[in-house]
Structure 1
């Protein structure tokens, strides 16, 4: 839980191929619950993906499916 009381409901996904698209990630992770947002940061200069992404869920429920 964050210090402001709102639970953190985002997953950090790393080591993604540069060709990975939002639709692919949304499709893979939507089987665990509704995906609110997919964010793939881009390099400032090249405008290419940086190799990681954030998957946001509306609640903590889907996190039961993931292990560290």
Structure 2
């Protein structure tokens, strides 16, 4: 009976260790993506907003003239 409890604790410990290893492997990739991404220019932000439908064509061209 005691061995079953110890075996269960050991399996739980292995599962926790496995989860920590997976988390730590993914962490450097997330940090690397954040470091390599350059900030968007105002024109790129405007293009994205227009493509997403956040602004209409009239607003888009008005804002383009303002940032020139």
Q: Smaller-chain TM-score range?
A: under 0.3
Higher RCO (Cα < 8 Å, 6 or more apart)? 1
TM-score (norm 2): 0.24
Rg larger in 1 or in 2?
2
TM-score by length of 1: 0.24
Question: Relative to total residues, which structure has the larger helix share, 1 or 2?
Answer: 2
